[in-house]
Amino acid sequence: MLVRAWLHGRPRNTVAAYRNDATRFLAHAGKPLVQVELADLQAWDTSLADNKPASRVRRLSAAKSLLTFAHGLGAIPTDPGRKCLIRLLYLCGLRASEAAALCWRDMTLVGKGGAGEAKVLGKGAKLRTVGVPAGLWRDLVALTPTRRPDAPVIPSSTGRPIDRQAVHRAVKAAAKRVGLGKAVSPHWLRHSHASHALDRGAPPQVVQKALGHASLATTTGYLHARRGDLSANYLADV
């Protein structure tokens, strides 16, 4: 019934192709739709490696569209696209506008571990490079049917770039699902990136560079003193 609702109103040829794509995707996942996760979308993307480019784009787009539709109806707990957006904001410390503007021309795969880098145009038209962990990189790849240079890293349901307001709505929706207040914004995730990195020993200069802060004082403002953590603990007893 959900698949029929998802296909309702689409052109006849699209309905036939998308129904076949959805059936194959769910058969590949080997589980009910309510249990499908981002990992299943990744595996589906990998299985399409030998398909013609146009077919691979359509089949991955169909699966992604079905999951987004199912999430909108409350049939599945998370939308893979929104989940990746939240992780991108947090793990890369991006502003909402920076995440919305990110395209695949800005992304570079580095090393053998599957991690990457993103070139981000921040405030004052300043360009900086941020790291993209391997797990996040794989998820972003699985979400994007075509990775042309001008293709958005986080596409909307239509495949076009999302806007800043859409990023804010996605964060607020995620916050609501876990019982947080309405004041939550994308900046909370950027703030958490800085605080958690510093609390876990990242040099302030490294965090400053990743976030694009003009002043180191701005970065060190995210440091938090822990109970019982005294400066004397860092000195050798003589």
Give the integer Cα–Cα distance in Å for 198 and 104. Answer: 29
213 is an active site residue: yes
Render 58-84 in DSSP notation, one character per residue: HHHHHHHHHHHHHHHTTSSS--HHHHH
123 is an active site residue: yes
Point out the catalytic residue in the list 58, 138, 193, 213.
213
Point out the catalytic residue in the list 59, 83, 95, 193.
95
| Cβ neighbour number for residue 133 with a 10 Å cutoff | 15
Point out the catalytic residue in the list 123, 148, 160, 169.
123
Give the integer Cα–Cα distance in Å for 238 and 235. Answer: 9
Point out the catalytic residue in the list 58, 83, 138, 190.
190
Give the integer Cα–Cα distance in Å for 6 and 26. Answer: 15
Helix (H) or strand (E) holding 34: none
Give the integer Cα–Cα distance in Å for 3 and 226. Answer: 51
193 is an active site residue: no
In contact, 151 and 104? CB cutoff 8 Å: yes
Point out the catalytic residue in the list 10, 148, 177, 187.
187
18 is an active site residue: no
191 is an active site residue: no
SS3 99: helix
How open is the CA angle 185-181-201, to the nearest 5 degrees? 55
Write out the catalytic residue numbers: 95, 123, 187, 190, 213, 222
